[in-house]
Chain A
Amino acid sequence: MTWRMAWRNLWRHRTRTLIMTSAVAFSYALFLVSMGMGDNGHAQMLEAAAEGAGGDVLVHADGYWDNRSSDLVIRNAQTVLNAVESAAGVEVAIPRVLVNGLVSSAAGNRPVMLQGIVPEREIALQDYAEDLEAGEFLTESTRDDPLILGATIVEKLKLELGDRVVLTASDPEGEVTRALFHLTGIVETGLPETDEGLALTTLDAAQTAVAMDGMLTQIGVIVADGATPDSVAAAIHAAADVQGNGLEVMTWREAIPEMVAFIEIDDAFLYIYIVVIFAVVAFAIANTFLMAVMERVREFGLLNALGLRGGGVARLLLAETVLMTLLALAVGFTLGYSGHLAMDHWGIPVGGWGVEDMEISGANFADLVMRSTVNPGKWIMATLAVALITIGSALYPAYKASSLAPSEAMRFYE
């Protein structure tokens, strides 16, 4: 009878029920969509961060990451590369030569970070070919001295495809070297820092240009599904004689802690925002319930006068709350899941909001499209939290209803 009465009571006060149900439902839906977008955003940030760092795990000569000095190189490169590839949990090991230098043309010179890469391996992490604006990518070039430059450099040095470019840099012994390249491609990423400083060539060409035959600056590692950067870093430590080879092994989180802090702060703000929303909703619901109790004082007094104990009156009000909460959760979930599907399908291109220049620690967000990801565990926790908050907001009103004196409640006094 309690549940039957509770259900009918909900629909006797249709407007009030709809207002309260919609408040909970919309807040819950907003919660789910915000969480879905937040999780997706963070996943994209993690991916971009790993991309910006150069891999999930990085291997360099000891001290390179802090100093970026051209003399800190992995000298017995093939041995180390083989060892890294053999470590458990390594999906791909990507060898690189990274050198700071100057590219020069008749029009002037510009500082660049020359990256000597193996395109077939590099593509596991990022595909520069996607940003190719003109010319051909390294895999298509037949030249042995190909160079791809960022669009801004090309513009400033007044270069055209096929032009000769001189790279000046220091070799690992500290000697200044000069090497001739031919401009074979132009990339435009949308990130000013990249477009103004990127110079890509093949690993062999870079090694030749800066006298690094048999040497590498960095090995970027992509971890296999099921492995974590930490576990793979440990495996590499065990496999590659880190001390003997003078290496440093770090996860991307260790490499760019500021990015990790950014994501954690962003995550915390999301949850603070959600807590604030729900605090407001909980107070609104408690207030509405309390007003409803005051409106129904006579009704609760009658039930008590007929012999229903205070606990029974409280149970009736809580049963109404539970039913309303279930209804709100059903509506809210439908709305929230629809919102998630819509976000997942269409997404919101963040570039359109003027954040196309956003870059944190080398992570590129130029193509960031906000979508949504369902994390079932989080969604279940969110649902339970909403249910608890909503039902909890009725506890005080239920207590008030249960402690009404029947004679006062029924305004029995003459």
Chain B
Amino acid sequence: MKICALIRMVPDLVEELEIDENGTEIYPSMYIANERDEQAVEEAIILKEKHGGTVEVVGIADDEVSTEIDEPLAMAIAKGADKAMKVNLSRPTYKRAELAKALAEFLKEREYDLILTGIQAIDGFAGMLGPMLATYMGLPYIGNVVYAELKDDHLLVRKELEGGVIGEYKVKLPAVIGIVSAEKPPRFVPFAKLRQAMKSAEIEEFDLDVPEIEGLEVERYYEPPKPEIVLIEGEPEEVAEKLIEVMKEIGVL
């Protein structure tokens, strides 16, 4: 089985986000691999371990993250992926449709049996890359997947449904699937092993034109006003009295 896993970079929320004056751009000070995509990489490697085959990871990069993405790509190699590729987008885009359209041709040429992607990325919060990619490629898509195995000529996947129910589905290959979490937590890679992979991994690079798809524009990004937090301090009796005052003020008493 020839498996592909996609990796996107997203803002690392450990550092605060900055929004530009016009409110139309977000400037993160640090990027990190999208967590769900790391789950997709893990599931890809688990599938390879179960059924054989190869895993190729494709990192999606614009100018902002073209260096940063090398680390998660090397990490995937250290975990057991066979090949790492990086596609450099001609311009950054938040539109998943544009990204999907750009990637579709590139991925089609490589004739994967299975393409795995994280169910969503925290920057767009759309959950759309997988479904749109499948549409452009003319392949089936299933999301919210937590387990996959090869059974005869198809893939058997499990997805989480509401109400504590698990759905089991037969998926004809080739297909695109969206991963919530891998069967097991992503494996740990010791520091020295990652460093070694960063030195030795050969990352093949490709330039990719991002097509324009109209109909959607950012109006503004902004932070909603933060609710005021008041800490009531003092002896229990005082605190209780003040709390009653506050409750009367806001009308719950």
A in complex with B: no
B residues engaging A (CB < 8 A)? none
A residues engaging B (CB < 8 A)? none
